[in-house]
Structures are given as C-alpha cells and as structure tokens.
Chains A and B, each alone.
Chain A
Amino acid sequence: MARRWQWFHRLGSPPGFYRASGYWLPWLAVAAALLLGVGLVWGLVYAPPDARQGNSFRIIYIHVPVSFLALAGYYVMAVAGAVHLIWRMKLADMVMTAAAPLGAALTFVALFSGAVWGKPTWGTYWVWDARITSMLVLLFLYLGVVALRQGFSNQEAAGRACAVLALVGTVNIPIIYKSVDWWYSLHQPATIRLTAAPSMHPDMFKPLLVMILGLYVFYALVLILNTRAEILARERRTGWVRELAMGRNQD
C-alpha cells in the first residue's frame, strides 16, 4: 500500500513534480512539434479545398482544435481547483493558476479565428451566433478567474477563492450553453447558415484529427511549462530552488 502510493506523493509535491516533468518536457515538445507540423502541412496544403468555401475552410484546422481546448481547459482548471479545495494540494493550485490565462488565451484565439473565418463565409466578422456567444461568455468566465487571482495578496486564500469561482462556473456552463442556444433559436436570422456538413470527407477529417491530437499535446506542454514557472515563483525561498538556481543540482 505504502509503496503503491509513493509515486503519487512524490509527484504531488512541487519539487517532485518539477523534477519529473523535466524528463517529460522533451518528449512532449517533440510530439507536439511533430503532430502540429504534420497536421498543419497536411491540412493547409494537401487536403482538398471545400466545394463551397474553397480554401478559406482551411482555418478549421486551427479554429476547431483551439475551441476544443478552450472548453476542455475550463474543466482542467475546475478539476484542479476542486482537488486543491478538497485535499489542500499545493500543486493543484499551481496547475489551476497556470491553466486560467492559458484557457483565456485559447478562447480568445478561438473567437479571433472564428471572426477571421466568418468574414469570407458570412460576409461579417461577428454574428450573434449561439456558439460564438457561448465562447464569449466562456472568455468572461476565464477573465473573472484571472482577475480574482490578481485581486488577492494572500496566495493561499486566492487559490481557494478561485477554486470556488471555477466550480460555480462549471455548474453554470451547461446552463449558459443551453440558454444561449435557446436564445439563438428565438432570434435566429434566416440568412446565416453554418456550413458544417454533417459528414466531413475523410481526406479533410484526418488532418483535423491530427491537429486536435497535436493541440492536446501542445496544451499539456504549455500547462506544464506554466506550472513549472509558477512552482519556481512560489517556492523561490526554499532550499531546492536556491540549489537549482545556483547550478548545484546534480539530477
């Protein structure tokens, strides 16, 4: 029993995680570069152009994976917050701190790439479409967590407060999505139609799958890098960080 959980406790402590993640980083970086490189070249160059949208549809290879991660990132943040709130695990709080600005950035990229895509497709950068509006609300939720964290001077309390906020947001997200959906079906303008065909041609779909996978790996990589920076910032007064900075760390 004790041995079985040792790895968990070692990984759950900030120095342990810092050391272990140092070994993962090169692998993750190579995998992310490979997947994103292959996906981008395949999607942007070799995939066939769309029958109706021509080449402008290719922005899907950025837009869809980023939107996936923007949503999944909120749950990463909320789960990390819950772990911190329940077990008072310092590392979980650091992960949550790292995930908030990352998720906000991804949501912004999703909105931005959607706007760029909307111009050639719908003739306008912004429409009050249900999905776009929900993403906008998601961006506000992320920004709230980031702003709340900055408002606190006491790190420990900030972690718990942000966790509560993230969890309240999690309960709310399905309600917000449903309500915005409903609102849109009430006000739906007749002229705009999303061209997402129910079935995508496999030649177009496969590079998208590679891109989604690649972005998941990229997300993990950036999350770990952000978490490592947060660990160093918070533990800067401890002995092991000082040793690391002095270059006397042998492992």
Chain B
Amino acid sequence: MAAPQLPELPGLAAGYGALLRRDLQLAWRQRGQAVNPLIFFVMVTALVPLAVGPEPALLTRLAPGMVWIMALLGTLLAADALFHEDFVDGALEHLVLSPQPLWLLVLAKVTAHWLVIGLPITLLSPLLGLMLALPDAGFVPLLAGLALGTLVFSLLGAVGGALTVALGGRSVLLSLLVLPLYVPVLIFGTSAVTQAVAGGGSGGPLALLGAIAALALAVAPFAAAAALRAGIDG
C-alpha cells in the first residue's frame, strides 16, 4: 500500500528563517517598544553617580558591576514580552502546533530577541562605561563579555518567559525565577572587566562565559520548549 502523500513541508532552516524574519519585522514596526529597555539601561545607570556621588575613583570601582547589573535588568524587562504578545494574539498556539520542532522556533525567537535587545545593549555599554569612568583597558572585555552574557540572559529569560507566559503578575514572577540563574554570568562577566582593569588578562572569565553560553544554547531551547507546552495551559 502506498503511503499517503504528505504535503511538502519547509525544512528547519526555512522555518527558523521565517520566524526570525517575522520577529525582526515586528520589532522594527514597534520600534518604540524595542527601544524602551535601552532607555531604561541608560537612565538607571545615570542614577548611579547621583546616588553615590561623582568621584571618578569610586565610579571606576563600581562601573563594571553597575553596567552589568543594568544590562541584566534591561534584558530581564524585555524577556517578559518574548512570548507573551504571541500568547495574547494566539500566534503562540500555532507555533506550538506547527510541524516545525518547538525548540527551533524558540531558538529563532531568542535570536531575534538578542538582536533587538542584547546586541544594542552590548553596543551601548561603552557609552555607559565612559559615563562611569571605566578605565580604557576595561572596554574590550566589557563588550565581549556582554555580547556572550546577554545571549545567556536571553536564553534563560526565554525559559522564564515560557513558564510564566499565561500567568498574572508575570514580570515579577519571571524575575524571581530567572535572577538566581543569572548569578554565574554576572560573576564571570564583571570579573572579566575588573581583572582587565587591574592589569591582568580577562581570558579566563571570558572563556568560562563562552562555555556557559554554549551550554545554554544547547539546553535552554529544549527547556523553554517544554516550559511553553506547560506554560500555555496556565
């Protein structure tokens, strides 16, 4: 007996590309919304000197930690919207039901999220380093560390966003779930900068950040996919 003829399905690359394009297009059409976390990032950093005083020596000491914490909060704010808008308009259920594997679609959404939030925050960070009197040696490790670190933030944020996608009081709950998981990234990210500023190499922490990013890239999409299947039943 001949197998029933199935319609030709698009491959993995086509599915990934289509969702990535759609998310980037959506972000472009709602530019204002995508820019808000960046404004938050700059604004809160500007509050630091107002709170602790403008002495450059003090700011230099605080700069790596402050820039990293602000970057963390900026991406966290945006992680809430990662799945929720699609959940509200019903698109998320179609993604879950689609013949493409869900982890791949999650990966596409995370890629778009990183390009829209993580990458701009990384590129903005030297400006904040400048405002907080970060020494010259710290800029390259800050950029490299944030590029990797915001990717991990987006990946773990996707797990948290998927778990809480249908719940009330979402954004606070999301931070409760995800913040403890951000601890290693924060530690390695800030120490890459402080070690470079102190005159040592920053290769070690950056390599560890890269390892964490690789692990998160391998595991988080599957976890977020499982979380989405549970989460949409809220």
- Give every chain A residue within 8 A of B226 (Cβ-Cβ): 85, 160, 164
Given A148-B173, A160-B230, answer yes or no on A176-B184 (Cβ-Cβ < 8 Å). yes
Q: Are the CB atoms of B223 and A164 closer together than 8 Å?
A: yes
Kindly state the separation between the CA atoms of A144 and B164 in the bound complex, as whole angstroms: 11
Smallest CB gap from A184: residue in B: B187
- Give every chain A residue within 8 A of B219 (Cβ-Cβ): 168, 171
B227 close to A (CB within 8 Å):
yes
Residue of A147, A165, A176 with highest tally of chain B CB at under 10 A: A165
Distance to closest chain A CB from B142 (angstroms): 17
Q: Are the CB atoms of A167 and B184 closer together than 8 Å?
A: no
Partner-binding segment picked from A15-23, A45-53, A151-159, A195-203: A151-159
Q: Are the CB atoms of A172 and B159 closer together than 8 Å?
A: no
Given A148-B164, A168-B159, answer yes or no on A176-B234 (Cβ-Cβ < 8 Å). no
Given A137-B180, A147-B176, A168-B181, answer yes or no on A153-B163 (Cβ-Cβ < 8 Å). no
> Which of A156, A159, A161 has a CB less than 8 Å from the CB of B231?
A161
- Give the contacts of B208-227 with A (CB-CB under 8 A): 208, 212, 215, 219-220, 223, 226-227
- Give every chain B residue within 8 A of A186 (Cβ-Cβ): 191
B4 close to A (CB within 8 Å):
no
Q: Are the CB atoms of B173 and A172 closer together than 8 Å?
A: no
Q: Are the CB atoms of B163 and A148 closer together than 8 Å?
A: yes
A179 close to B (CB within 8 Å):
yes
Smallest CB gap from A183: residue in B: B187
- Give every chain A residue within 8 A of B168 (Cβ-Cβ): 151
Q: Are the CB atoms of B187 and A151 closer together than 8 Å?
A: no
- Give every chain B residue within 8 A of A28 (Cβ-Cβ): none
Smallest CB gap from B164: residue in A: A151
- Give every chain A residue within 8 A of B183 (Cβ-Cβ): 137, 176, 179-180
- Give every chain A residue within 8 A of B163 (Cβ-Cβ): 148, 161, 164-165
Number of interface residues of A (CB under 8 A): 33
Contact with B along A173-217 (1 / 0, CB 8 A): 001101110110010000000000000000000000000000000
B88 close to A (CB within 8 Å):
no
Smallest CB gap from A168: residue in B: B223
A125 close to B (CB within 8 Å):
no
A27 close to B (CB within 8 Å):
no
Residue of A140, A154, A160, A175 with highest tally of chain B CB at under 10 A: A175
- Give every chain A residue within 8 A of B164 (Cβ-Cβ): 148, 151
Kindly state the separation between the CA atoms of A193 and B187 in the bound complex, as whole angstroms: 22
A169 close to B (CB within 8 Å):
yes
- Give every chain B residue within 8 A of A176 (Cβ-Cβ): 180-181, 183-184
Interface secondary structure of B, over-half rule: helix
Q: Are the CB atoms of A147 and B177 closer together than 8 Å?
A: yes
Given A157-B230, A160-B226, A167-B223, answer yes or no on A183-B181 (Cβ-Cβ < 8 Å). no
Smallest CB gap from B227: residue in A: A164
Q: Are the CB atoms of B227 and A161 closer together than 8 Å?
A: yes
Distance to closest chain A CB from B105 (angstroms): 17
> Which of B159, B169, B181, B191 has a CB less than 8 Å from the CB of A151?
B169
- Give every chain B residue within 8 A of A156 (Cβ-Cβ): 233
A95 close to B (CB within 8 Å):
no
- Give every chain B residue within 8 A of A25 (Cβ-Cβ): none
Q: Are the CB atoms of A144 and B187 closer together than 8 Å?
A: no
Distance to closest chain B CB from A93 (angstroms): 11
Kindly state the separation between the CA atoms of A217 and B219 in the bound complex, as whole angstroms: 35
A71 close to B (CB within 8 Å):
no
Smallest CB gap from A137: residue in B: B180
Residues of B within 8 A of A (CB): 156, 159, 163-164, 167-169, 173, 176-177, 179-181, 183-184, 187-188, 191, 208, 212, 215, 219-220, 223, 226-227, 229-231, 233-234
- Chosen A-B contacts, 30 in total, with CB atoms closer than 8 Å, are A85-B226, A137-B180, A141-B180, A144-B176, A148-B163, A151-B167, A151-B168, A151-B169, A152-B234, A157-B231, A157-B233, A159-B230, A161-B227, A161-B230, A164-B159, A164-B226, A168-B219, A168-B220, A169-B180, A169-B181, A171-B215, A175-B215, A176-B183, A176-B184, A178-B184, A179-B184, A179-B208, A182-B187, A182-B188, A182-B191
Residues of A within 8 A of B (CB): 85, 137, 140-141, 143-144, 147-148, 151-154, 156-161, 164-165, 167-169, 171-172, 175-176, 178-180, 182-183, 186
With A176-B181, A186-B191 given, name 5 new contacts (CB 8 A): A137-B183, A143-B176, A147-B176, A151-B168, A178-B184
